[in-house]
Amino acid sequence: MSSEAIKTSVFSILGNIAFASIKFVAGVLGNSYALIADAIESTADVFASILVWIGLKYSTKPPDENHPYGHGRFETLSTFAVIGFLVISATVIAYESIQNIQTPHEGPKVFTLFVLGGIILFKELAFHYVMRKSKETNSSSLKADAWHHRSDAITSVLAFVGISVAILFGDGFEAADDVAALIASGIIIYNAYRIFKPIISEISDEQIYEELSNEIIQISKSVSDVIAIEKIHVRKMGMVYYVDLHLIVNANFTVMQGHTIAHNLKDEVRKRLPEIADVLIHVEPDRVVVN
């Protein structure tokens, strides 16, 4: 799972380097600030993808004496960095767009539309590929990286529209692609917010994993001598989950019997849900709590 996530992050790095270069050259030669702004966003994507790669590398290190819960938070921290790069790139694009709108300049060249057409297609495909990998690996930083690709596709679409308007309508509409770049910066900020919200929930251990909790409860029903699950708390650490739960068993069982039932439940949960790294179980007698 972790190796797939790392390979996907390398794909993003190489793709962003290639397209940032193509956009910048085409933007300068084609006299299109929308395309140059797109290149700026892709350059930020390169650094963001490198941070995702670093975060994934560190987050997959096994637990040690000083980090008994592993190093999963590194992946979360890299996601914050990705959000920061989104905000910075959007701010730079917005500022430069406003400057260019106020300054008379020559309109963009037709060939930039063909460059953008290829970029839009690739970036949309890259979004779906990286998003699929983020779901397969349960990686929040890959999800953020996928939205970087989608943001890139959106800015490219808007640049395509702006350049088309500037070319079709000619004099007086030279700034159309700059306006498109300005609109794109707002969309990038919105996407940054969409990534930021669930990450805050993750890092604050908010209980938002109801579906996973219900799966664990269903699994517990298949384990012998489990009466019920009284409480269950789930926290996400990088690409894995840690679970704390209260298990209710017969009050007449010995400590050894309760211990065995708890281990049987833990083993069954981890076997059927490999994304769960560990389960901490507190055993309760049924005469104290009846569910």
> Can you give the pLDDT at residue 291?
47
| 176-203 average pLDDT score | 79
Tokens describing residue 239: 């690409």
Quote the CA–CA distance of 84 and 130 in Å, as a whole number.
20
Domain 2-203 grouped into CATH 1.20.1510.10: yes
Answer for the pair 184, 66: CB distance below 8 angstroms, yes or no.
no
Enter the tokens of residue 132: 């699929």
CATH number for 210-285 (one of 3.40.50.300, 3.30.70.1350, 2.60.40.2470, 2.160.10.10): it is: 3.30.70.1350
| pLDDT surpasses 80 at 26 | yes
pLDDT digit string, tens, across residues 40-68: 777 777 777 787 777 777 777 777 777 77
The confidence score (pLDDT) of residue 289 equals 47
Instruction: Give the whole-number percent of the chain exceeding pLDDT 90.
Output: 18
Quick one: how many helices (H) and strands (E) in the chain?
8, 3
Question: Has residue 116 got a pLDDT over 50?
Answer: yes
| Cβ atoms of 107 and 174 closer than 8 Å | yes
Assess whether pLDDT exceeds 70 at residue 269.
Answer: yes
Distance, in Å, from the CA atom of 282 to the CA atom of 288, rounded to the nearest integer, reads 13
Whose structure tokens read 């790392």? 6
Choice between 157 and 279, residue whose per-residue pLDDT is larger: 279
* Virtual torsion, Cα 236, 241, 247, 253, nearest 10 deg: -140
Name the residue ranges covered by the structural domains of the chain: 2-203, 210-285
Model pLDDT for residues 234-255, shown as the tens digit of each residue: 988 777 888 999 999 999 999 9
Cβ distance 220 to 226 under 8 Å? Answer: yes
The H-or-E segment that residue 140 falls in is: helix 140-169
